Every structure is written in structure tokens, then in C-alpha cells.
Amino acid sequence: MGSSSAGFVAVLTAAAVATVGFLGFRASATVPADLAKPLGGESAAATSKAPRDGEHPKALPVASGLGERVVYSVDDDRVWLVAQGDKVTRTFKVTPSTVDPLPGTYTVTSRSNTATGSDGTLIEHVVRFTSVDGVAIGFSAAVDGSTPTPDPTVQTGGIRESRADGDAMWQFATIGHTVVVIR
């Protein structure tokens, strides 16, 4: 292939990438409001905080869904991995991102074994379940084990776990798995 042919292919490729990017932006900017909501719309948990057991703060909150699921409390910065029969197999604290998902029911839409977080940190076991204003929201663990408080001036969607908790989440929350977000 001659150099002019290679240049022509490069120009076509760049034009195609730009067009796909533009169309993707336009599509996300014109999503009807009812399609941008969590599955099932707003739940009762969206309007009030799910009741808690005052004597057992780590106990699974009532009104946090049914069946096998991940429950994430944005107010308590806590996650519960719940097996069938509402049996909690693990609960742990997390470091929230600067962008919170709305309360509601979601499904795991994508996973990545390793990636670079929006804060530039190398992360592993990324489990994504929604996005808010173009910011992907999901659970992950920093490879270096850190869970720093995110910079409030930067929009991030990574909910950070310890590496051990990230391993447990990775094993538990596969594609299509339910994630319930509560207050």
C-alpha cells in the first residue's frame, strides 16, 4: 500500500471515529427522561431512608429488595452481598465517589478485570451498574489497596472497596446481577 493510500485510510478512520463519537454524544444527550431512570423507576427507598436496625447497624436494611442482590447504601457508605433467602454473605464499608447513583434497582452492565480509574489510579475488579450524567458508576478496588477520599472538584463514579471486598464483589456480582441502591 502506498503512502497516499495509508494517509487516505487514516483520514477515513479518523472521520469514522469522530462520527461515532458525535452520534454517541447526541444519543446520550437526547435520551428521554423516563429511559434514564433506574429499572422500575423510583422506588420507595428513593423518597426516604430504608429503615435500619438500631441495635445492629450492619444488619441488612428492610425494604432493600428481594432475592440475590448487591445492596448499596449511599448514606451509610456500606454494601451488603445478599444470597437467596436474604442471607447476607458479606457486608463492608466503601469509600463513595463524588457522583452518587439515584436510589433504585439496577443490573450489572459491565465488568473489567483491570482498568484505570477516573482519578488515574490503577483499579481491579470493576463492576459497573449505571451512569449519571455521563459518569460511569460502579464498584472497584485500587490495586495499591488505597481508598482515599475523592477530590470533590472532580466528578468520579468509582465506589472504592478494599481489595478483599473487591474480590468478593467480583465473584458475586456478574453481568445481569441485581444492584439495589438505597439511602
Encode 148-167 in three state secondary structure: CCCCCCCCCCEEEECHHHHH
Q: Please check whether residues 84 and 163 belong to one and the same domain.
A: yes
Q: What are the grid coordinates assigned to 67, written together? A: 432475592
What's the mean pLDDT in 10-18?
Answer: 43
C-alpha–C-alpha distance, residues 155 and 22, integer Å: 22
Per-residue pLDDT band at 5 (split at 50, 70, 90): low
pLDDT category at 18 given cuts 50, 70, 90 is very low
Residues 70 and 91 in one domain: yes
Say which residues have a Cβ less than 8 Å from residue 58's Cβ, sequence separation at least 6.
78, 91
Instruction: Tell me: do 25 and 43 sit in the same domain.
Output: no
* Structural domain of 9: 3-30
3-state helix, strand, coil in the chain (%, to 5): 25, 30, 40
CA distance 55 to 41: 32
53 and 20 inside one domain: no
Query: Do residue 83 and residue 150 come from a single domain?
Result: yes
The mean pLDDT of 84-102, rounded to a whole number, is: 95
Residue tagged 463492576 (cell numbers): 127
Spatial distance between the Cα atoms of 139 and 107, rounded to a whole number of angstroms = 13
CATH of the domain at 88: 2.40.440.10
Number of domains composing the chain: 2
Could you tell me if 146 and 86 lie in one domain? Answer: yes
Q: 110 has which bridge partners?
A: 128
Burial 115-143 (b: 16+ CB within 10 A, else e): bebbbebebbbbbbbbbeeebbbbbbbbe
Q: Examine the domain organization and report whether 102 and 144 are in the same domain.
A: yes
Across 32-163, where does the E strand assignment appear?
69-73, 78-83, 87-93, 104-107, 110-116, 122-132, 135-142, 158-161
- 21 and 79 in a single domain? The answer is no
Question: Does residue 111 sit in the same domain as residue 62?
Answer: yes
Q: What confidence tens digit (pLDDT) does each residue in 145-172 have? A: 999 889 999 999 999 999 999 999 999 9
Kindly report which listed range (23-32, 45-54, 95-104) carries the lowest average pLDDT score. 23-32
Does the reported pTM lie above 0.85? no
Instruction: Fill in the amino acid letter for 14.
Output: A
Instruction: Confirm if 105 and 40 have CB atoms less than 8 A apart.
Output: yes
